[in-house]
Amino acid sequence: MIRTHTCDALRIEDDKSEVKLIGWAQRIRDHGGKKFIDLRDREGLTQIVFDPDVTKNFSEVESYRREFLIEIHGMVRPRPEGTVNKKHNTGEVEVLVKEFTLVNACDVLPFDLDKESTQEVNEELRLEYRYLDLRRPEMLKGFQRRHKFISALRYFFDNHDFIDVDTPTLTKSTPEGARDMLVPSRKHEGQFYALPQSPQLFKQLLMVAGFERYYQVAKCYRDEDSRKDRQLEFVQLDLEMSFMDWPEFRELMENSLIEAMKVYNKDMSHADFKSLTYAEAMDKYGSDKPDMRIQGLELVNISDIAANCGFSVFKSIVERGGLVKGLRVPNGQEKYSRKQIDKLIEFCQEHGAKGMAWMKVIEDNKIESSIAKFFSEEELESIRSNLGGQTGDLLFFIADSKSTTNDVLDALRRRLAQELELISEKDAFAWITDFPLFQIDEENGNRLKAEHSPFTMPNEEAVKFIEENIKTKEDIETHKNELLKLNGDCYDLSFNGIEICSGALRIYKPELQKKVFEIIAMPEEEIQSQFGWFLKAYNYGAPMHRGLAFGIDRIVMLLEGKTSIRDVIAFPKTKAWTCPLTNSPSPVDSKQLKELHIKLDITEKPKKE
């Protein structure tokens, strides 16, 4: 037997027991001719003592360094009075080493594994030596919790009659919003597989097959630009169900998270899950993933007042179809100096605004501002009243296109909440429902594109409108404004202001699915080429079905209190999508390229002198 106990198992009750341990030397100390080592495995620490009067071959330990892997045999004893360490479960005991063996030495460490914060170490260096970085107790414990969280979700869905089914990871390239990761085929010259952005189409076919309840912990791939909550490859818990309406489905999904959150000792209930329509979320918070922990700082639309005011900046924005919105900062005049307000203006400009207008609410609820002269007394009072302004408050305004106004105010709201400590410690979820079916695709001639997903079922009102009014391509242009007002039976879930899942009732009628493809200007040839195989299945008695996918990496990132999902993925890529550990991506030799029928067309970069 290599070991009798882990390094977290021994207690005072084990006094005088003969034990065998194996682990890495976390700390090494000399005291009065004796060597003390904190021996660490994945469970915890045990202090071991090398005594020249007891330990065989004591002199060999003199050359040991941190992270040497050591196997020891010794006797448990109480720690001397005054040396008990209550920070560790084993803090009342130590092991007097009788015999030991060096299993493996360790080179000089590239960075200090004993630092409490990973922020103190260069990230690329951490990723180059990720196997060492993962030895940190805080990292290891995080991955243990991640495993238990996923296991709790699996257990929940297993016990609610879901079937775990693997779907292909080499599949057909289809437009799903992000760039596909492509894999060339050796057997089929000039043709490619795609790694899945999600198991979307296959899980819908499983519903057609009558599986009724499917789930999978799936690896997915998207060739997207770098962000703290994105990676080229990521894990989601994907699921789909037949014959279930939204209220019933929502309750089941909330129950799954309530159970899994217990891994993190979080006592959640259905009361922690709010629900907002997309329109409500954008109106009040400027975001479809609002942080519901923020107390106050809701946005107020004053476009109706601005449309008739004398301030040309506001008025012209409204005339062009933009928005003028503001938010109230309670007692803001005490908390923000003019210099600090200027920094907030710069912050808004960095997020895309041309500037930020602001007003003070002074004595008798009067308004003081450099732009106040452009408004009548009635307009100023209406603005103050709408925002709920009180004496001492600051009122901040953004006027721009709808998207820019909302994006900037969302960012400003989050910043103010941090600075003013208006973020509750209680976690908060928000379902966002009733997303628009379509939006304008400004990059492609202002035609329509799917807002949520082209497979999202329109709500009853929208189905009726499409079936009655969209017969030809000309009808699409004629009714474009009405189409932009239609909503789908779809939903996202935000957790503390970050989207963690997205889903919908799927279109299960082939003619309606084809009609939606036509509305988003997908040519018939492309529909058949990309989705003909999929649509064919819907001619064989397809059931109604809905589903979603939980972003496991994002959820764990939030539960672990991290700011980047790289800290909760075992072997992530850098911000530049490289892997310092394996030095990938990397060139491949010409023989491999020839087998794949690929010729590279790369302009050589000029050599640096």
**Distance from C-alpha of 470 to C-alpha of 474, rounded to nearest angstrom:** 8
Q: Please give the distance of CA 124 from its chain centroid, rounded to a whole number.
A: 21
Structure confidence at residue 226 (pLDDT): 72
CATH superfamily ID and name for 294-423: GAD-like domain (3.30.1360.30)
Handedness of CA 470, 471, 473, 477 (dihedral sign): negative
**Distance from C-alpha of 80 to C-alpha of 142, rounded to nearest angstrom:** 33
**Distance from C-alpha of 203 to C-alpha of 311, rounded to nearest angstrom:** 54
DSSP 554: H
475-490 residue pLDDT tens: 999 999 999 999 999 9
pLDDT classification of 608: cutoffs 50, 70, 90:
very low
Query: Measuring CA to CA, which residue among 283, 412, 394 is closest to residue 348?
Result: 412
> What stretches of 68-180 adopt beta strand conformation (E)?
69-78, 93-104, 163-164
381-440 residue pLDDT tens: 999 999 999 999 999 999 999 999 999 999 999 999 999 999 999 999 999 999 999 998
Handedness of CA 106, 111, 112, 116 (dihedral sign): negative
Handedness of CA 361, 362, 367, 369 (dihedral sign): negative
Q: Helix, strand or coil for residue 4?
A: coil
**Helix axes 278-285 and 402-419, enclosed angle (nearest 10):** 60
39-98 residue pLDDT tens: 999 999 999 999 999 999 999 999 999 999 999 999 999 999 999 999 999 999 999 999
Query: Measuring CA to CA, which residue among 218, 223, 227, 231 is closest to residue 182?
Result: 223
- Topology of domain 140-266+430-568 in CATH is BirA Bifunctional Protein; domain 2 (3.30.930)
**Distance from C-alpha of 92 to C-alpha of 78, rounded to nearest angstrom:** 6
- The mean pLDDT of 589-593, rounded to a whole number, is 92
Structure confidence at residue 178 (pLDDT): 78
Amino acid (one-letter) located at 183: V
- The mean pLDDT of 262-280, rounded to a whole number, is 96
Structure confidence at residue 333 (pLDDT): 96
Query: What is the domain class of 12-104 according to CATH?
Result: mainly beta
Q: Helix, strand or coil for residue 409?
A: helix
**Distance from C-alpha of 45 to C-alpha of 37, rounded to nearest angstrom:** 10
Handedness of CA 76, 82, 84, 85 (dihedral sign): negative
Structure confidence at residue 229 (pLDDT): 81
The answer to whether residue 115 scores a pLDDT higher than 90 is no
Distances (CA, A) of 225 to 174, 358, 556, 575: 19, 35, 21, 9
Handedness of CA 528, 531, 534, 537 (dihedral sign): negative
Give the Cβ contact number of residue 147 at 10 Å.
12
- What are the domain boundaries of the chain? 12-104, 140-266+430-568, 294-423
- The mean pLDDT of 119-148, rounded to a whole number, is 93
The answer to whether residue 24 scores a pLDDT higher than 90 is yes
Choose between 292 and 1: higher pLDDT.
292
Distances (CA, A) of 126 to 105, 343, 565: 20, 34, 14
Structure confidence at residue 591 (pLDDT): 93
185-232 residue pLDDT tens: 999 999 999 999 999 999 999 999 999 999 999 999 998 877 778 899
The answer to whether residue 114 scores a pLDDT higher than 90 is no
The answer to whether residue 609 scores a pLDDT higher than 70 is no
Give the Cβ contact number of residue 108 at 10 Å.
7
CB 208 within 8 A of CB 542: yes
Query: Measuring CA to CA, which residue among 565, 482, 571 is closest to residue 519?
Result: 482
Element (H, E) at 525: helix 524-537
Give the phi and the psi of residue 331 in degrees, each rounded to 5: 55, 30
**Distance from C-alpha of 509 to C-alpha of 542, rounded to nearest angstrom:** 8
In the sheet where 213-221 sits, what is the strand order? 163-164, 213-221, 233-242, 545-551, 498-505, 490-495, 429-433, 273-277
Choose between 390 and 601: higher pLDDT.
390
Percent of the chain's residues with pLDDT above 70 = 98
CB 508 within 8 A of CB 543: yes
The answer to whether residue 123 scores a pLDDT higher than 70 is yes
The answer to whether residue 119 scores a pLDDT higher than 70 is no
Q: What angle do CA 326, 330, 335 make, to 5 degrees?
A: 105
- The mean pLDDT of 12-26, rounded to a whole number, is 97
CB 8 within 8 A of CB 27: no
pTM equals 0.92
Structure confidence at residue 175 (pLDDT): 64
Structure confidence at residue 142 (pLDDT): 96
pLDDT classification of 118: cutoffs 50, 70, 90:
low
The answer to whether residue 273 scores a pLDDT higher than 60 is yes
Structure confidence at residue 59 (pLDDT): 93
- Mean of all residue pLDDT scores within the chain: 94
**Distance from C-alpha of 407 to C-alpha of 226, rounded to nearest angstrom:** 19
pLDDT classification of 603: cutoffs 50, 70, 90:
confident
